[in-house]
């Protein structure tokens, strides 16, 4: 009976293609976030683009979860597949959360540290997009993947340092001018940007785990 059921299941699914499509959505969202923090054009356009790409990513993760349930042979353990796409989705979800906060508080000017954090996010997400196609031949690509994930983890540390410096400058500025609301709002945006970095580090860790298991 079980053998008959297995024959009904697809033998494989295009998980690599889905990973890469999700990464492309993240790259577009990160680029829009960076442009948003640098006030390049209409902020509403960039917020809408981030929201649209997050919706695209949601469709892709649903496709992954549906396919992983229905596929008999998967390139990696099912738990590894869902953990990787889940970490990727957390990254774009945090971008969406940052954009929503910017929209909510009607922020029109951004501190240099926020812009620097957004630039690091763009770099990290670009590296993730470079890494994912290498999973198609993970045995041969293990060394290159490790180099990429090592840099992604370094970027998370760099974001942390910029985050701390930005918070300190923000506190000192508003301690002098007494604008407590501005301090709280700025701190909130810094927090959202830092969470994006935490999320992309999780993606790097999931990729490293795959290299350890299959490389």
| Residue 7 clears pLDDT 50, i.e. is over it | no
Read off the CATH number of the domain in which 116 is found. 1.20.58.220
pLDDT of residue 6: 39
Q: SS3 for 105? A: coil
Q: How many domains does the chain have?
A: 1
- The pLDDT, as a whole number, for residue 118 is 98
pLDDT of residue 188 exceeding 80: yes
Q: What is the pLDDT of residues 56-70, one digit of tens each?
A: 999 999 999 999 988
Q: What distance in Å separates the CA atoms of residue 23 and residue 112, rounded to the nearest whole number?
A: 27
Say what the pLDDT of residue 12 is.
56
User: For residue 199, what are the domain limits?
Assistant: 2-214
Using a pLDDT cut of 90, give the percent of the chain over it: 80
**119-176 per-position pLDDT tens digit:** 999 999 999 999 999 999 999 999 999 999 999 999 999 999 999 999 999 989 878 7
> pTM for the full model?
0.91
Euclidean distance between the first and final Cα of the chain, in Å? Answer: 35
């Amino acid at each position: 009976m079980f053998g008959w059921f297995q024959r009904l299941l697809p033998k494989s699914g295009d998980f690599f293609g889905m990973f890469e499509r999700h990464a492309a959505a993240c790259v577009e969202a990160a680029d829009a976030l960076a442009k948003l923090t640098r006030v390049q054009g209409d902020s509403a356009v960039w917020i809408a683009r981030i929201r649209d790409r997050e919706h695209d990513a949601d469709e892709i993760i649903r496709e992954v979860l549906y396919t992983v349930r229905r596929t008999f042979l998967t390139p990696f353990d099912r738990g590894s597949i869902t953990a990787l796409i889940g970490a990727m989705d957390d990254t774009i979800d945090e971008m969406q959360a940052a954009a929503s906060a910017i929209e909510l508080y009607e922020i029109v000017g951004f501190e240099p540290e926020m812009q620097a954090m957004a630039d690091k996010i763009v770099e990290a997400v670009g590296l993730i997009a470079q890494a994912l196609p290498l999973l198609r031949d993970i045995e041969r690509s293990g060394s290159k993947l490790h180099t990429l994930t090592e840099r992604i983890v370094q970027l998370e540390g760099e974001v942390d340092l910029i985050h701390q410096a930005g918070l300190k400058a923000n506190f000192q500025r508003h301690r002098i001018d007494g604008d407590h609301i501005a301090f709280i709002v700025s701190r909130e945006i810094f927090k959202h940007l830092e969470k994006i970095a935490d999320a992309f580090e999780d993606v790097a860790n999931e990729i490293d785990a795959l290299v350890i298991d299959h490389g």
